[in-house]
């Protein structure tokens, strides 16, 4: 029998050793009094959903076996230590099929779908059952014939592992017996001069300088270095409790690659540059001169010691090398100002320069070690407060996850689009990036009271068009 504790944990009458797994430090951070974050993953379909009977069998056979956390609740023992405690899962309590008014147009159902997403983002997951839900939307919108929404608590894992869990419920469209395919990870070509003494020494001192600078910057982000108040950052308290609007826009990977080749950049450089340029266009349209304010994006960086996404089999590993869980760092990247960029391509080039500089630094890893020391000395709540301050002192966060390169299905329904969003973040805006079959989808979750979501989406589209046009002129 369970009851809700003073901090929202589930407490048992007696501690049981069987079926209990200690929570990871980052899992505790995301279920603390400072941070209580969830992830919404949306899968849109090409054909209408006419039969939902396969949902529970699919979850039982495919989803639950991925990791014991999907069959566990957060549990605090008599010593105050937090664990994942295995429980019996009543799957019917986790599957929701909302009812909207019948006979409406797809555009009208857009409104109902957005309102439902907003409601989901606002609601807290019950603590007396495993912290995930599945929502099946049977109504056609202007972008899809139907959709499902996975809602999962961020304490279960980060974007990599949670999206991996979602992908485990999908099958290859052309041949269900084949595994899903993902983008290949290619390391940058090795510089033949790298063993040259004259190259190594300057690079070492450059890395040392960048590391000290990055570590200092991240520490100052908790108190002294704060972004300016702008149309994308109001600096109001309690933003994590306010309703958000979630919209998405997709870009052609082939066109992104075209820009990439023209500028000798990476796909991440290009898409991040588009987001940075689009954010400046939005700021200037809302308030003249604000595009030159100090603004910073907090990029969620995957810190796993693996090269790219290695496949779904990694999701079921149980050893300490498993990529499951929360394995990421927060990387603050200054957004180029309008006065420093005379043409659209400079946003990509300056973004590339900033990211390359961050790569030649171990500040992120040292910051992780420092947070771990603080956790051991002062506990996970102290670290959660530090992370909270880093987040609220920046303008928005960006997260990027690879998706399948070939068409996939869920319960025999062809998937048209896949994207995700982090909810309950203490910022005015969160931006996610996910690739799927020749396109990259950028989802924007913004506070309804402070940001014009549709105007921001159109600003991203305008930024992409201007950068693509400018790249065509590069020879």
Which residues in 77-188 belong to E strands, given as ranges? 82-86, 95-96, 132-137, 146-153, 171-172
Report the percentage of the chain scoring pLDDT > 70. Answer: 83
Q: Where are the alpha helices (DSSP H) in 16-70?
A: 25-29, 55-58
Region of residue 264 (left: phi > 0; alpha: psi -120 to 50; beta: else) = left
Average pLDDT of the chain? 84
Cα–Cα dist 183/267, whole Å: 12
Distance CA 454, CA 473 (A): 29
Segment 382-398 shows an average pLDDT of: 91
Report the pLDDT value the prediction gives residue 442, as an integer from 0 to 100. 97
Average pLDDT value for residue range 6-30: 58
User: Residue 22 phi/psi, 5° resolution?
Assistant: -60, 140
Q: What is the pLDDT of residue 150?
A: 96
pLDDT band at residue 224 using 50, 70 and 90 as cut-offs: confident
Query: Residue 13: its pLDDT value, please?
Result: 33
Q: Quick one: pLDDT band at residue 197, thresholds 50, 70, 90?
A: low
Model confidence band, residue 15 (pLDDT cutoffs 50, 70, 90) = very low
Better-scored residue on pLDDT, 325 or 475: 475
Q: How many residues does the chain have?
A: 475
159 or 265: whose pLDDT is higher? 265
Please state, in angstroms and rounded to a whole number, the distance separating the CA atoms of residues 403 and 441. Answer: 10
For CA atoms 352, 356, 359, 363, the dihedral sign is negative
Least confident of 83-92, 217-226, 273-282, 394-403: 217-226
Task: Note the pLDDT of residue 369.
Answer: 79
The pLDDT of residue 205 is: 64
162 vs 416, more confident = 416
What pLDDT does 14 receive?
A: 37
Residue 274 token pair: 């588009």
More confident residue, 195 or 156: 156
Tokens of 266: 């990476």
Pairwise CA distance, residues 413 & 415, whole Å: 6
Res 304: pLDDT: 54
Q: What is the pLDDT of residue 402?
A: 84
pLDDT of res. 326: 52
For the cut 70, the answer to whether the pLDDT of residue 302 exceeds it is no
Assess whether pLDDT exceeds 80 at residue 206: no
Which domains can be identified in the chain, with CATH numbers?
2-172 (3.30.559.10), 197-403+425-472 (3.30.559.30)
Identify which has the larger pLDDT, 308 or 28.
Answer: 28
Q: Reduce the secondary structure of 226-294 to three states and give it as a string.
A: CCCCECCECCCCCHHHCCEEEEEEEEEHHHHHHHHHHHCCCHHHHHHHHHHHHHHHHHHHHCCCHHHCC
Instruction: Examine the pLDDT at 315 and tell me if it is beyond 50.
Output: no
Would you state the pLDDT for residue 422?
93
According to DSSP, residue 292 is labeled G
Give 216 or 68, the one with higher predicted confidence.
68
The predicted pLDDT at position 22 comes to 81
Q: How many helices (H) and strands (E) does the chain have?
A: 11, 18
Q: What percent of the chain has pLDDT over 90?
A: 54
- Given a cut of 60, is residue 438 above it in pLDDT? yes
CB 399 within 8 A of CB 330: no
Q: How far is CA 154 from CA 27, 60, 134, 276, in A?
A: 7, 21, 15, 26
pLDDT digits (tens, 9 = 90+) for 246-277: 999 999 999 999 999 999 999 999 999 999 99
Strand partners, 296: 334
The pTM for the full model equals 0.87
- What are the φ/ψ torsions at residue 358 (nearest 5 degrees)? -65, -30
Distance CA 432, CA 446 (A): 12
pLDDT in tens, 121-152: 999 999 899 999 999 999 999 999 999 999 99
Q: What is the pLDDT of residues 48-57, one digit of tens each?
A: 999 999 999 9
- Among 38-47, 69-78, 129-138, 439-448, the range scoring the smallest mean pLDDT is 69-78
Measured from the Cβ of residue 332, the count of other Cβ atoms closer than 10 Å reads 22
Tell me the average pLDDT across 208-236.
Answer: 80
pLDDT above 80: residue 234: yes
Residue 47 scores a pLDDT above 60: yes
Are 368 and 219 within 8 A, CB to CB? no
Q: What is the pLDDT of residue 318?
A: 41
Could you tell me the end-to-end alpha-carbon distance of the chain, in angstroms, rounded to an integer? 70
The pLDDT of residue 187 is above 90: no
């Amino acid at each position: 029998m369970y009851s809700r504790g003073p901090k929202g944990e589930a407490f048992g009458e007696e501690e049981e050793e069987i079926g209990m797994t200690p929570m990871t430090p980052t899992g505790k951070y995301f279920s603390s009094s400072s941070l209580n974050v969830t992830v919404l993953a949306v899968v849109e379909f090409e054909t209408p959903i006419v039969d939902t009977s396969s949902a529970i069998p699919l979850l039982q056979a495919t989803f639950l076996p991925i990791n014991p956390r999907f069959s566990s609740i957060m549990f605090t023992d008599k010593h105050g230590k937090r664990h994942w405690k295995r429980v019996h899962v009543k799957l019917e309590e986790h599957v929701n099929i909302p009812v909207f008014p019948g006979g409406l147009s797809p555009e009208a159902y857009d409104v109902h779908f957005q309102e439902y997403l907003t409601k989901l983002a606002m609601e807290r997951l019950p603590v007396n059952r495993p912290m995930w839900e599945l929502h099946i939307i049977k109504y056609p919108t202007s972008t899809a014939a139907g959709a499902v929404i996975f809602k999962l608590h961020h304490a279960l894992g980060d974007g990599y592992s949670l999206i991996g869990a979602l992908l485990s419920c999908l099958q290859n469209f052309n041949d269900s017996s084949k595994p899903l395919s993902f983008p290949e990870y290619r390391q940058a070509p090795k510089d033949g001069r790298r063993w040259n003494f004259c190259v190594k020494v300057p690079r070492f001192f450059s890395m040392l300088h960048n590391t000290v600078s990055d570590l200092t910057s991240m520490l100052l982000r908790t108190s002294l270095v704060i972004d300016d108040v702008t149309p994308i950052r109001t600096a109001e308290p309690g933003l994590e409790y306010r309703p958000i609007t979630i919209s998405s826009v997709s870009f052609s990977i082939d066109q992104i690659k075209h820009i990439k080749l023209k500028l000798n950049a990476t796909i991440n450089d290009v898409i991040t540059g588009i987001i940075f340029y689009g954010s400046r266009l939005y700021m200037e349209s809302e308030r003249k001169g604000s595009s030159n304010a100090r603004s910073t994006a907090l990029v969620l960086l995957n810190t796993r010691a693996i090269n790219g996404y290695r496949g779904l089999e990694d999701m079921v590993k149980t050893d300490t090398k498993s990529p499951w869980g929360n394995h990421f760092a927060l990387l603050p990247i200054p957004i180029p100002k309008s006065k420093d960029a005379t043409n659209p391509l400079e946003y990509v080039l300056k973004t590339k320069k900033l990211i390359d500089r961050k790569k030649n630094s171990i500040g992120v890893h040292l910051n992780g070690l420092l947070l771990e020391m603080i956790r051991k000395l002062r506990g996970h709540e102290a670290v959660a407060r530090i992370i909270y301050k880093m987040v609220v002192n920046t303008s928005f966060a960006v997260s990027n996850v690879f998706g399948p390169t070939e068409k996939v299905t869920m319960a025999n329904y062809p998937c048209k689009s896949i994207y995700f969003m982090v909810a309950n973040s203490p910022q005015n805006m969160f931006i996610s990036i996910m690739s799927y079959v020749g396109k990259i989808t950028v989802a924007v979750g913004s506070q309804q009271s402070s940001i014009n979501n549709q105007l921001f989406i159109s600003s991203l589209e305008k930024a992409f068009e201007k950068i693509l046009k400018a790249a065509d002129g590069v020879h």
